[in-house]
Amino acid sequence: MSTVQKHLWNAAWQRRDADYTNTEITRLFRPEDIVEKNILDIGCGNMRAAEVWKGRSSMTGVDISESALWAAKWWDKRRRLVVGDVSNLPFMSDSFDSVFAIDTLTSMTDGHMNALKEIARVTRNVMVFNLYGLGPLEKTTRGLREQGMYFSVTPCGPMEILSSPDLGDKVFFNVTGLIRTLAGMGLTVETAVGLASNGWGDYGAPYSEQRRKPGSGHDEIVFVRALKRG
């Protein structure tokens, strides 16, 4: 992530307006991924999502925002927390049994491929993450056209990069291309399902919105469970 994004996330956590936890992603984990395992939460925020596994696993949280980690420490002083960037994780390869990144890739404007490589590098077995599919790209470009706003869309591997002076850069993924890309990293995609986010941008869905379904004014996010081949 860029320095600007880091400052924005610090400011958001200081205002406590980033207190959203999309726990839908935790459903893609299985008991054998969690119980008595070493788990990394990337872009952990306040680590509220990890509460569902409290006491059943060893949890480490990493986030680019010091303010977010302060919030996580406030909830539980025993947590292992590290300041770090998903595009350059401060851990040895194969350090964790399972790794998840909730609403982390959706919050980035660049560096997605490096981030995926880093997530794959530090996990031994399972990685679960979410990102924008192509559905929201179509909705966004249609809205920009209707408002007469300038934008461009640039293909880049499995990604489509939307650039707009009004929205900045946003990255959307072709799931078929993503599966091929992950295969090249030694990963097998076991599950890739579209679930819902709220309409507030990149922060993820608050608790009250998590049961809403795509098609009701919400953008589709693709949740991926991938296994690392030995």
CATH number at residue 126: 3.40.50.150
Q: What is the DSSP string of 136-173?
A: HHHHHHHHHHHTT---EEEEETTEEEEEETTTEEEEEE
User: What pLDDT, on the 0 to 100 scale, is given for residue 93?
Assistant: 97
What range defines the domain where residue 92 resides? 3-228
Q: Residue 4 — very low, low, confident or very high, per pLDDT cuts 50/70/90?
A: very low
Calpha distance 201→170 (Å, rounded) = 10
- pLDDT at position 116 is 96
pLDDT over 70 at 196, yes or no: no
For residue 136, the one-letter residue type is P
Contacts 24+ apart (CB under 8 A), 55-62: 60/96, 62/86, 62/89, 62/90, 62/91
With a cut of 70, say whether residue 89 has pLDDT above it: yes
**Which pLDDT does position 166 carry in this prediction?**
80
Q: How confident is the model at residue 136 (pLDDT cuts 50, 70, 90)?
A: confident
Question: Would strands 187-196 and 220-228 be described as parallel, antiparallel, or unpaired?
Answer: antiparallel
Distance in angstroms (rounded) separating the CA atoms of residues 226 and 228:
7
| pTM for the predicted model, two decimal places | 0.78
Place of tokens 């992950």: 182
Cα–Cα distance measured from residue 41 to residue 103, given in angstroms and rounded to the nearest whole number: 11
**Number of domains, the chain:** 1
Q: Are 150 and 164 in contact (CB under 8 A)?
A: yes
* Cβ 141 vs Cβ 170: under 8 Å: no
- Say which residue, 20 or 43, is predicted with more confidence: 43
pLDDT at 54: 66
Give me the phi and psi of 209, to 5 degrees please.
Answer: -105, -5
